[in-house]
Chain A
């Protein structure tokens, strides 16, 4: 099967939620709270850096109060535009505010087996397989996560095994969310450097970036901060993902939730830009509201879509690229609910020009991976891509001459103009448009069956550009070394 280049969304259609005054108020609210209450950063390294730059630090509570001037200086230092590299140089991502890219979703704990349909614990092989499927799909621009946890390898080196499986499965950009200690981060950078062909090459073309979860409200994880400092030292882009849940870890009101989201994405920017001014940094987020009966994480709902759209506007105000939790339905199987969740969520991100959308292929609130869902989410992306491109208006597209020629009651089927432009019309890959009889005769094969076929065929036939054998050997070697040195 052929390798195809990734297809970003070119953003023409746009919506707006907030006035310039609204945006200013979010900013001022975040500044006020960061200065008065501060943020928890339980890492002496992080606190040293911030104290050195004028933050008021409480070592007992591990809290840093960030003065407004420090925040604004950091915001100025952060680059507004940069590129995420990839093992395949033709597939790098331009984070320029004009393109939207989709990744896989990540960190699931179970897999719907592609061959038996059974739900089972996830494995290292699932990561390589899902990465290979992602590599084959032009809609997937980078591999985030990893999609699932490699539960068949030792916990202490698991993130490194996962990274190896991801690098093996795809030549696209990789962005893990599991590099959460300094020790693991050093090994991960070593692995990325081996794949890139050296540390300098890695810095020039970062094929790895690192995302962390924030500890809402108003906090970060110490290990994650230290891991990100290691990554930034080597020029790898870093970002932090708050996911305040309205009523639980965030205020019930959506505007209040966005204040918490802003602080928990912005406070780490202050740290990273103070430590490494100009280092590539992105915001990330997955804000949501709890289910009022169960308190549970929902994986969809109007609040999620509004929060996504709203936070992108806040990020655009700062001029910092955003990676937004997108799709990731709460549905347990790829059904109507999955489609509703993922369509709304994709539109919310796309119509507000989110740079990175994480991502395709997971069910049950990012807990179960489905290969079919990856393929079907790519179709949603394709429809959104076409939608976001809008309608071009010029002499050729207005077609006045053609309309006159065909005249009253004629048809356009065989017209030259039709043949010149018909390929601009979207064609489905898994959406079913077959005639009723054909559909019945096929055993009622719909999108799911088509997606199953595509995924199975790909995993049988598709070859990712392989890593050189000596690179694979070096990756093995690094993991072996980590196995020996990292404490249980």
Chain B
């Protein structure tokens, strides 16, 4: 195997094993050896995260292992994204998901899991964190033009923020072409319909299926 091949193989292994602390170094090492950023993504990181996702689907991996793989990939992407952008190159993905827990709500575990699984399935995920204001969702939607916005709400008192965000997106002319999916413990299909979301999912595995359907993948 060439040096390059060995470096890509190493990165793939780092993602599969979720060795977050080695990910940045190995990425920089590959770049230093002249490997193209896009090649690092497509031949190192993506096969790694796909393998982790496959292991999770088969039941060989538990959730913490999958989340570690997603984080190892994210750490590498933080190095590569600016380079890709400078070269105006884009990696092949299923789409871009903007994710967050709504304002007044700090429950984040479910959202994080949804994010990890979406990444493992081939989506790019921008996680805005928890307690995200309606205005922040709107501003980020305008700036990043995602394919999907995913909103999590765990409280009956904060669910209404999902509705308000959808309304605000429409008012700002950002709703068409943008898909919205909602989730969280009290969120149901009826609620999603009522507030004009495109769909909802009860758990993270279903969230991936929903996201794929929404982007026609």
> In the complex, A245→B64 CA distance in Å?
12
Do A155 and B109 touch (CB < 8 A)?
A: no
A158 is an interface residue with CB less than 8 A from chain B: yes
Do B113 and A295 touch (CB < 8 A)?
A: yes
> In the complex, A294→B110 CA distance in Å?
9
A340 is an interface residue with CB less than 8 A from chain B: no
Interface bits B51-83 vs A (CB < 8 Å: 1, else 0): 000000001001110000000000000000000
> In the complex, A247→B59 CA distance in Å?
18
Do A151 and B156 touch (CB < 8 A)?
A: yes
Query: What's the nearest-Cβ distance from chain B to residue A44, in Å?
Result: 18
**Chain B positions within 8 Å of A294 at CB level:** 63, 203-204
Q: Of B63, B106, B156, which contacts A293 at CB under 8 A? A: B63
Q: A149-B156, A151-B156 are in contact. Are A293 and B62 (CB under 8 A)?
A: yes
Do A245 and B186 touch (CB < 8 A)?
A: no
Do B160 and A292 touch (CB < 8 A)?
A: no
> In the complex, A159→B137 CA distance in Å?
28
Interface bits B86-119 vs A (CB < 8 Å: 1, else 0): 0000000000000000000010011001000000
| Size class of the B contact interface (CB-based, 8 Å) | 10 to 19
**Chain B positions within 8 Å of A295 at CB level:** 63, 109-110, 113, 204
A69 is an interface residue with CB less than 8 A from chain B: no
Q: Of B64, B110, B156, B203, which contacts A247 at CB under 8 A? A: B64
A406 is an interface residue with CB less than 8 A from chain B: no
Do A292 and B62 touch (CB < 8 A)?
A: yes
Q: Of B62, B106, B110, B160, which contacts A155 at CB under 8 A? A: B160
Do B59 and A293 touch (CB < 8 A)?
A: yes
Interface bits A142-160 vs B (CB < 8 Å: 1, else 0): 0000000101000100100
**Chain A positions within 8 Å of B185 at CB level:** 109, 367
A434 is an interface residue with CB less than 8 A from chain B: no
**Chain B positions within 8 Å of A245 at CB level:** 109
Do B156 and A292 touch (CB < 8 A)?
A: no
**Chain B positions within 8 Å of A248 at CB level:** 109
Give the residue name and chain of the B residue nearest to A364 (CB): B185
Q: Of B59, B64, B186, which contacts A109 at CB under 8 A? A: B186
Give the residue name and chain of the B residue nearest to A365 (CB): B185
Query: What's the nearest-Cβ distance from chain A to residue B130, in Å?
Result: 10
> In the complex, A252→B62 CA distance in Å?
13
Do B63 and A292 touch (CB < 8 A)?
A: yes
Query: What's the nearest-Cβ distance from chain B to residue A160, in Å?
Result: 13
B2 is an interface residue with CB less than 8 A from chain A: no
Query: What's the nearest-Cβ distance from chain A to residue B90, in Å?
Result: 30
Query: What's the nearest-Cβ distance from chain A to residue B116, in Å?
Result: 9
A290 is an interface residue with CB less than 8 A from chain B: yes
Q: A109-B186, A215-B106, A290-B63 are in contact. Are A296 and B203 (CB under 8 A)?
A: yes
Give the residue name and chain of the A residue nearest to B67 (CB): A295
> In the complex, A221→B130 CA distance in Å?
13
Do A249 and B156 touch (CB < 8 A)?
A: no
**Chain B positions within 8 Å of A215 at CB level:** 106
Q: A155-B160, A292-B63 are in contact. Are A249 and B109 (CB under 8 A)?
A: yes
> In the complex, A151→B62 CA distance in Å?
36
> In the complex, A122→B157 CA distance in Å?
13
> In the complex, A221→B107 CA distance in Å?
12
**Chain A positions within 8 Å of B186 at CB level:** 109, 367
**Chain B positions within 8 Å of A367 at CB level:** 185-186
Do B156 and A109 touch (CB < 8 A)?
A: yes
Query: What's the nearest-Cβ distance from chain B to residue A222, in Å?
Result: 11
**Chain B positions within 8 Å of A109 at CB level:** 156, 185-186
Query: What's the nearest-Cβ distance from chain A to residue B61, in Å?
Result: 9
Among B113, B156, B157, B203, the most chain A Cβ lie within 10 Å of the Cβ of B156
Give the residue name and chain of the B residue nearest to A121 (CB): B156
Give the residue name and chain of the B residue nearest to A252 (CB): B64
**Chain A positions within 8 Å of B109 at CB level:** 245, 248-249, 290, 295
Contacts of A109-124 to chain B: CB distance below 8 A = 109
> In the complex, A248→B67 CA distance in Å?
10
**Chain B positions within 8 Å of A158 at CB level:** 157
> In the complex, A295→B59 CA distance in Å?
14
Interface bits A256-291 vs B (CB < 8 Å: 1, else 0): 000000000000000000000000000000000010
Query: What's the nearest-Cβ distance from chain B to residue A249, in Å?
Result: 7
Contacts of A125-178 to chain B: CB distance below 8 A = 149, 151, 155, 158
Query: What's the nearest-Cβ distance from chain B to residue A167, in Å?
Result: 21
**Chain B positions within 8 Å of A252 at CB level:** 64
**Can you pick out 11 interface pairs between chain A and chain B where the beta carbons lie within 8 Å of each other?**
A109-B185, A149-B157, A155-B160, A252-B64, A290-B63, A292-B63, A292-B64, A293-B62, A293-B63, A294-B63, A367-B186
By a beta-carbon cutoff of 8 Å, the part of chain A in contact with chain B is 109, 149, 151, 155, 158, 215, 221, 245, 247-249, 252, 290, 292-296, 367
By a beta-carbon cutoff of 8 Å, the part of chain B in contact with chain A is 59, 62-64, 106, 109-110, 113, 156-157, 160, 185-186, 203-204
The 4 tightest CB contacts between A and B, nearest first, are A292-B62, A295-B113, A109-B186, A295-B63
A221-B106, A293-B62, A295-B113 known; 8 new pairs, CB 8 Å cut-off, are A151-B156, A247-B64, A290-B109, A293-B63, A294-B63, A295-B63, A295-B109, A367-B186
